[in-house]
Amino acid sequence: MLVVVVVALLLVTNVATGLAVYYLAPATPAPTVQPLRVIGPWSASEKDKFLPVLNLFKNTTGINYEYITTRQEDLQSLLPNWFAARRAPADLIFMPSSFVKTYGTQGHAADLAGTVSESNYAAGALDPLKDGSKIYGGAYTGKVKPGFWYRQSFFAAHNYQVPTTWTGFEALLRQIETDGSVNNTPIISGDGVGWPLSDVVEHFLATYGGPDMNKQIMAKTLPWTSTSVHDVFANYLVRTLTPGVVCVASCWSAPRQWDTGVAEWWKGDYALYFMGSWITGMVTPNSDIRVMPLPGGVNPSGVVFAADYFFVPTYASRLNDAKRLAAFLGSSAAQQLQVTVGGHIATVTGVPLSAYPAVDARIAANLTGKVILSDLDDTIGGTFQGTFWTQLQALWANPSNLNAVLTNIQAAMPP
């Protein structure tokens, strides 16, 4: 008899827990008649800038959408499991190009060769996604990493000129230091997980090694330990990192959180900040912001253009509608609307410079004549990225370790 009571007790506690959990936990959306689901990494203000484009899509096609913010690092580990279960959490997902290509070749990303047309895009925009004649995704707008940002007013106040040669650049750094016009090192190193440092390195490689150097490294035909790569590091970047060579201490600050760093740099604690073009949306008044690429170097030089890539999973529940969205995102209508809010550069041709805010128009204009490069660590991806970043942090900490760093980076390259 008591057995019954105890068993009932067991049941009740478990059911009570289950009910509590069920009612207190947020409900997951019902799987029937769902809107077109889009997953992107943007939240808060960046998301607010993206939604108008999705709204335009909804208004022109009548297709309702749902946008969900998810960090790409989280998706890196989750999506493979979804794919293994032959399902996908959304109909269109933004992910780095290395991911899209890897999983596209395994059949999890739909071939968009008939949907997005290469002729729409600037040369090379879709290259990281291509495998033969198949294109496993599309490119949306992107951000450029054009060079070192500075305040026009700051330079004017101290009578600094934009250098045209490397020696001029070194002289500028020395000058800033001797003048004491900032309280810290002339250049601020942004950090976080490490990608801002890799942006810097890619810029040095693209300028003084030439865009072919970046391409060959990405194609794994040129090792990091080769003399040409080593020399770009040693003769340029490491000179500025090593105390006593160009500046008394390092010309670069110890890596700081890159987003708080923006405020510090804008305030005048630092003179130069290497960043991507999204920085124009982060400071006011952005009429004061200017950018200078590294001077001199190989001609034509390369500029890293990190486009936001997306793909449509083959398991998307609304495959055709997702492809329509993909085509839309790759159209000049969508991208033109996006660039008007600032901080974005279009990957498609057909977006006039007049659509950009002034500062972005300058950047877009600067792109002419330069070779567009994709982001190196995003393209290689995988475990390489993490090691790449931490090794660069180590290089910043100890520039004399250049050889060890290059060896470690090369060891982390995928076969």
Partner 1 sequence: MMANGRGRLRIPKIPVRTVVIHAIAWGIGLLWLFPFLGVFMTSIRPVTEILNGWWVTNPFNPTLQNFQTAFTDPTTPMWRGLRNSFIVAIPSTFLPIFIASLGAYGFARFRFPMRDYLFLTIVLFMAIPQQMVAIPIFVTMINAGLWDTFLGVILVHTAWALPWILLFMRNFFQTLPLEVEEAARVDGASDFRIFYKIVLPMSLPALAAVAVLQFMWVWNDFFFAKVLLFSSQNLVATQLVPLLSEAGPFHKDQGILSAASIVVMIVPIIVFATMQRYYIRGMIGWTIKG
Partner 2 sequence: MSAKGERAKRSLSSSFQPYLRVIFFVPATVLLIFLVVYPALQTLLLSFYHPPGAFARLDNYGSVLGNRQTIDTSDWSIPYGTLVNNFLWIAIHLPLSLFTGLYLALTLQKVRGASIVKSFIFLGMVTPMIVGGIILRFLFDEKSGIVPRAFGLLGISGLAIQWTAYPETLLFGLIFGSVWLWVGFSLIVYSAGLTTIPRDYFEAAQMDGASAWQTFRKVTWPLLRPTTLTVVTMTILWELKLFDIVFAATNPNGGVGGAADVLALQMFRYAFMAGNFNDAAVVATLLTGLTLLVSTWMFKRIIIGKGKNAGRLERALRRLWARAKPQGSVLKA
| Residue 138 near partner 2 by CB under 8 A | no
CB atoms closer than 10 angstroms to residue 307? 28
Using the minimum distance from each CB to partner 1, give the nearer residue, 3 or 30.
Answer: 3
**Please, are residues 360 and 344 in contact by the beta-carbon 8 Å criterion?**
yes
| Residue 192 near partner 1 by CB under 8 A | yes
| Residue 391 near partner 2 by CB under 8 A | yes
| Residue 85 near partner 1 by CB under 8 A | yes
What CA dihedral angle connects 299, 215, 386 and 70, to 10 degrees? 100
Tokens 């390369």 -> residue: 302
Using the minimum distance from each CB to partner 1, give the nearer residue, 17 or 165.
Answer: 17
**Minimum distance of partner 1 from residue 369's CB (angstroms):** 33
**Minimum distance of partner 1 from residue 258's CB (angstroms):** 5
Using the minimum distance from each CB to partner 2, give the nearer residue, 100 or 371.
Answer: 100
Q: Is 208 helix (H, G, I), strand (E, B) or coil?
A: helix
| Residue 268 near partner 2 by CB under 8 A | no
Stretch that binds partner 1, among 4-12, 224-232, 237-245, 302-310 (CB under 8 A): 4-12
**Minimum distance of partner 1 from residue 240's CB (angstroms):** 23
For the residues of 353-372, what is the DSSP string, one character each? Answer: GGGS-HHHHHHHHHTTTSEE
**Minimum distance of partner 1 from residue 73's CB (angstroms):** 9
- Give phi and psi for 85, each to the nearest 5: -90, 10
Interaction pattern, residues 17-46, with partner 1; x per rule: CB under 8 A: xx-xxx-xxx-x------------xxxx-x
- How far are the Cα atoms of 9, 222, 396, 408 from residue 172, in angstroms, in the given order? 78, 32, 20, 32
| Residue 268 near partner 1 by CB under 8 A | no
Which residues have C-beta within 8 Å of that of residue 38, sequence separation ≥ 6? 54, 65, 66, 67, 68, 90, 91, 92, 93, 325
**Please, are residues 48 and 75 in contact by the beta-carbon 8 Å criterion?**
no
Binding residue (CB under 8 A) for partner 1 from 10, 123, 157, 249:
10
Ramachandran region of residue 207, left (φ > 0), alpha (ψ -120 to 50) or beta? alpha
What CA dihedral angle connects 77, 80, 84 and 86, to 10 degrees? 120
| Residue 81 near partner 1 by CB under 8 A | yes
- Give phi and psi for 141, each to the nearest 5: -65, 170
Stretch that binds partner 2, among 86-94, 304-312, 358-366, 379-387 (CB under 8 A): 379-387
| Residue 105 near partner 2 by CB under 8 A | no
| Residue 185 near partner 2 by CB under 8 A | no
**Minimum distance of partner 1 from residue 332's CB (angstroms):** 27
| Residues engaged in binding partner 2 (CB under 8 A) | 3, 7, 10, 73, 76-77, 80, 193-194, 254-255, 382-383, 386-387, 389-391, 393-394, 396-398, 401, 404-405, 408, 411
